[in-house]
Amino acid sequence: MTLDEAAALVASVPHWHHAFEIYPGLVTPGSYDPNFLLSKARLANDLNGLRVLDIGTSDGFFALELARRGAAVVAIDYRGKQDHGYHVMEMLNPVRIEYHKMNVYELEEKPLGQFDIVLFMGVLYHLPDMIRALHMIRQCCRGTLYLETHSENDFCRKIAAARYYKGSTLANDFTNFWAPNRLCVLDMLYDAGFDVERDEAWGQRLFAAATAVQTYGERSQKMQLGYGRLGQ
């Protein structure tokens, strides 16, 4: 495929979320460059033998990058491939990535197996039930979760709290529900069965790398009781 042909494919997509080099010499006109988030994860260049789940893959930047590093990648998004730039990314990059049109809450009823790495970038605050999503992720994560989210870092700094946004009052977007502060995110991760190894807050964003604990006792019981699973 020529550069002009590739550029025509990119131009056929009405909106790109990720700005990245999708083809040699061709960068998508996305709303932000996700490379800085990838650098925060500090992932190895060689991921052969590892399974990766990319939740909310959007245009597929993270899924593509980790597949290039040798990982077996599964990408999920509530939209179909044709509803964003993913299908063009797939056409321009001959890598094998398993794609599922599904919601994060469907992870329990549509099991995809266990994953060594789970990417959960820019999704948490779009979900009406944040802790349930983290609980679902814990069930399929046997390694490390990399989470990035909108976060209210300017209020209630001494207690775990989240600000709820009615309607489209956050960025004029009906898909935005919550803005948890740093402590809220860390506490939810704890109860969901993750130990946070490191985190970083800047502006209204938060990044955290958390390891799935193998045995988490009362934390597991809390989640099972909260979602009616205790004793099953």
Average pLDDT of the segment spanning 119-136:
96
- Total-model pTM: 0.95
Q: How far apart are CA 229 and CA 215, in angstroms?
A: 17
Query: What is the domain class of 32-226 according to CATH?
Result: alpha beta
Position 75 scores a pLDDT of: 98
The C-alpha R_g of the chain, in whole angstroms, comes to 18
Give CA 109 to chain center in angstroms. 19
Q: CB-hemisphere CA count at 13 Å for 40?
A: 23
23-34 pLDDT, tens per residue? Answer: 999 999 999 999
HEC profile of 164-215: ECCCCCCCCCCCCCEEECHHHHHHHHHHCCEEEEEEEEECCEEEEEEEECCC
The two tokens of residue 52 are 């990766």
What sign results for the dihedral spanned by CA atoms 128, 130, 134, 135?
A: negative
Q: How far apart are CA 232 and CA 224, in angstroms?
A: 9
Give the amino acid at 49: G
200-216 pLDDT, tens per residue? Answer: 999 999 999 999 998 87
Sequence spans of domains, the chain: 32-226
Residues forming a β-bridge with 92: none
Give CA 23 to chain center in angstroms. 23
Task: Report residue 229's pLDDT band, with 50, 70 and 90 as the boundaries.
Answer: low
73 — alpha (psi -120 to 50), left (phi > 0) or beta? beta
Distances (CA, A) of 16 to 25, 53, 109: 17, 21, 30
55-102 pLDDT, tens per residue? Answer: 999 999 999 999 999 999 999 999 999 999 999 999 999 899 999 999
Q: How far apart are CA 71 and CA 222, in angstroms?
A: 33
Task: Report residue 144's pLDDT band, with 50, 70 and 90 as the boundaries.
Answer: very high
